Amino acid sequence: DQQVKQNSPSLSVQEGRISILNCDYTNSMFDYFLWYKKYPAEGPTFLISISSIKDKNEDGRFTVFLNKSAKHLSLHIVPSQPGDSAVYFCAASDNNDMRFGAGTRLTVKP
Amino acid sequence: EAGVVQSPRYKIIEKKQPVAFWCNPISGHNTLYWYRQNLGQGPELLIRYENEEAVDDSQLPKDRFSAERLKGVDSTLKIQPAELGDSAVYLCASSRGARSYEQYFGPGTRLTVT
């Protein structure tokens, strides 16, 4: 069962514009949410996270928004840069384990 | 600080052959994870260790998969015998503690079973 879903397999944006990556989850027991970034031939690297007690967390160009009632989170990247081109995984954790979405491939065009 | 090290990076074997993957976590990280990532999907947990103890192996296909973490540091994941459906990237990750959500991943081992 897919408890974490990223419905957009790919996203293409122009350099300097905003990238918005979306993620939905079904398990209300998840209390911590993360975004990982993955380049080809490398493992995922942690990007940003948010606790379920918050609705926004910002780190430089990256902001994660959490809507608990809708069981939805999003990652905003502004301004987008060509180096941001990668696969982005959404992950959600409860007390036991972490579940990952299938990923969204972001392409930022110069 | 050195990252998570995995070897080999790539492995091609014929079905029914055995294969083993090795992982060295970040120094001081007590929790170690093995994930499998199929093409076009996110990582799926196979087993989680806290020090030397396997605390979650519910997703590990125990008929052919085995893992060990001797002395609570390095870990090996073995498949015997391998099947065509085992072709995937096997990722190792580590974190400081059991409730440390930020996991650090190695580069993975890409396994191809022919």
DSSP codes, B29-78: --EEEEEEE-TTS--EEEEEEETTEEEE-TTS-TTTEEEE-GGGS-EEEE
Please report, to the nearest 10 degrees, the dihedral formed by the alpha carbons of residues A106, B100, B46, B88 taken in order.
30
- With a pLDDT cut of 90, the percent of chain B lying above it is 77
Q: Which residue has the higher pLDDT, B74 or B1?
A: B74
Chain segment A8-62, per-residue pLDDT in tens:
999 999 999 999 999 999 999 999 999 999 999 899 999 999 999 999 999 999 9
Chain A residues inside the 8 Å CB shell of B48:
97
Residues of B whose CB is below 8 A from A95: 99
**CA pair distance B59, B99, nearest whole angstrom:** 19
DSSP code of residue B5? E
| Cβ–Cβ below 8 Å for A100 and B43 | yes
